[in-house]
């Protein structure tokens, strides 16, 4: 007789998935805590978004609009897009999972890069697919390495542009070259969560590519520069047929009412957005220069964080730096799970937080204290 399991068991492969571990939220010491582990904006949400959120709190007994029409229309107006081709979700992670569920089946393949966002691998595996990991060149996605992984079972290619946690990006010409070489039945997903921070003339989030093709999706989020991380609201611009497929499987109320209201107000407050962009541009350059002057290597970043590399052994390791900063109230992100065991990721914070990072890392490199 075959043995019957005494309790329900997940289907094959689920328990092999390594759960996503978010950035730390607590530190061991320090008179003031600076949380620089999750790429959150130091400016918080727009005051208009806060007011809209509070007003929406008066209607918590009413189901939200399942079509998220008002939010889609606000996004469409902001970017000149057809609202019917906009998808909204419980953060952009929700949309990434839905895309994998809709287009990847058992035995199919999804491609990501070796230092790409971990949610891609989780979403591919959860859908029953096989993750194909493409090498990078100088911590940057490589078109040629990605194309080398494309095969008859390839269904989706996930690209974070800019990439988290490296902060590097693919110029738009390279993105177009990648798309042009992909089979028409392969979906190219451009995850542009940090697009608002990029100040490079050769960068594009991908709106043009989505508008003119049937196999490209661009995802965005309100969690980063708009400061609505706790509300979990993201969106995507996609071909009509992709929207049709996703709307058949997404939860009917996958964006809550207060999140939708706050998102509408946030995207309309361009002054708050520009202030955040200017702050990041200034302090990204400053912190990069300060840390480089300490003899540490910093990967050039176009996002709101930097990747700092440490010696592979000895007293000045990445793990030791992480602990040293935590003991002084500065929370950063170790990225060993991203195949970067000798680096830490540091979010650009307030002026006070950025100066604290530079000061404490200076102490660490000079060997002062533990």
| Percent of the chain with pLDDT strictly greater than 70 | 97
Please tell me which residue, 293 or 11, carries the higher pLDDT value. 293
Helices (H), 13-80: 47-56, 69-79
Contact call for residues 315 and 248 (beta carbons, < 8 A): no
Contact call for residues 236 and 207 (beta carbons, < 8 A): no
Mapped onto helix, strand or coil, the DSSP state of residue 17 is coil
Nearest to 89 by CA among 112, 66, 109: 66
Query: Which tens digit of pLDDT belongs to each residue from 297-345?
Result: 999 999 999 999 999 877 899 999 999 999 999 999 999 999 999 999 9
pLDDT at 368: 59
Q: Give the residues across from 217 on adjacent strands.
A: 189
Q: Is residue 242 very low, low, confident or very high in pLDDT (cuts 50, 70, 90)? A: very high
CB-based contacts of 366, cutoff 8 Å, min separation 6: none
Global pTM reads: 0.93
Please state at what angle helix 240-249 crosses helix 92-103, rounded to 10 degrees: 100
Query: Whole-angstrom Cα distance, residue 174 to residue 172?
Result: 5
- The 3-state DSSP composition of the chain as helix, strand, coil percent (nearest 5) reads 40, 15, 45
pLDDT at 80: 96
Structure-block tokens of residue 96:
């990434």
Of the chain, the end-to-end C-alpha distance in Å amounts to 61
Contact call for residues 41 and 227 (beta carbons, < 8 A): yes
Contact call for residues 28 and 12 (beta carbons, < 8 A): no
Over residues 125-135, the mean pLDDT reads: 96
Over residues 63-72, the mean pLDDT reads: 96
In this model, does residue 267 exceed pLDDT 70? Answer: yes
User: Which domains, and CATH codes, for the chain?
Assistant: 15-45+271-366 (3.90.1150.10), 47-269 (3.40.640.10)
Query: Whole-angstrom Cα distance, residue 292 to residue 204?
Result: 28
Scanning the structure block, which residue is given the tokens 């508008």? 211
Q: How many CB atoms lie within 10 A of CB 212?
A: 8
Contact call for residues 154 and 183 (beta carbons, < 8 A): yes
Q: How many CB atoms lie within 10 A of CB 86?
A: 22
Q: Is residue 369 very low, low, confident or very high in pLDDT (cuts 50, 70, 90)? A: low
Query: Whole-angstrom Cα distance, residue 248 to residue 250?
Result: 6
Query: Which tens digit of pLDDT belongs to each residue from 5-34?
Result: 788 878 888 888 887 777 776 767 667 899
């Amino acid at each position: 007789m075959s043995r019957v399991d005494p309790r329900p068991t997940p289907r094959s492969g689920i328990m092999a998935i390594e759960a996503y571990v978010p950035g730390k939220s607590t530190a061991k010491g320090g008179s003031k805590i600076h949380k620089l582990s999750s790429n959150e904006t130091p400016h918080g949400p727009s005051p208009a978004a806060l007011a809209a959120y509070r007003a929406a709190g008066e209607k918590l007994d009413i189901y939200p609009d399942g079509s998220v029409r008002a939010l889609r229309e606000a996004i469409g107006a902001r970017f000149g897009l057809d609202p019917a081709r906009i998808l909204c979700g419980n953060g952009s992670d929700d949309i990434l999972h839905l895309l994998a569920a809709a287009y990847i089946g058992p035995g199919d393949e999804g491609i990501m890069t070796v230092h790409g966002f971990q949610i891609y691998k989780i979403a591919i595996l959860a859908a029953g697919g096989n993750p194909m990991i493409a090498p990078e060149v100088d911590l940057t996605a490589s078109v040629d390495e990605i194309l080398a992984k494309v095969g008859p079972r390839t269904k989706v290619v996930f690209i974070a542009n800019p990439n988290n946690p490296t902060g590097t990006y693919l110029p738009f010409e390279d993105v177009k070259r990648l798309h042009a070489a992909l089979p028409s039945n392969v979906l190219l997903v451009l995850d542009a969560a940090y697009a608002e921070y990029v100040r490079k003339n050769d960068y594009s989030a991908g709106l043009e590519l989505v508008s003119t093709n049937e196999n490209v999706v661009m995802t965005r989020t309100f969690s980063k520069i708009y400061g609505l991380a706790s509300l979990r609201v993201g969106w995507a611009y996609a071909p009509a047929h992709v929207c049709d497929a996703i709307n058949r499987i997404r939860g009917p109320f996958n964006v809550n009412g207060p999140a939708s209201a706050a998102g509408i107000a946030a995207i309309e407050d361009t002054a708050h957005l520009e202030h955040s962009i200017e702050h990041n541009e200034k302090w990204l350059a400053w912190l990069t220069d300060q840390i480089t002057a300490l003899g540490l290597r910093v990967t050039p970043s176009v996002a709101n964080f930097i990747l700092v590399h440490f010696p592979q052994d000895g007293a000045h390791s990445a793990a030791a730096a992480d602990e040293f900063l935590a003991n002084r109230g500065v929370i950063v992100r170790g990225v060993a799970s991203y195949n970067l065991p000798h680096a830490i990721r540091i979010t650009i914070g307030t002026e006070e937080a950025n100066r604290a990072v530079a000061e404490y890392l200076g102490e660490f490199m000079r060997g002062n204290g533990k």
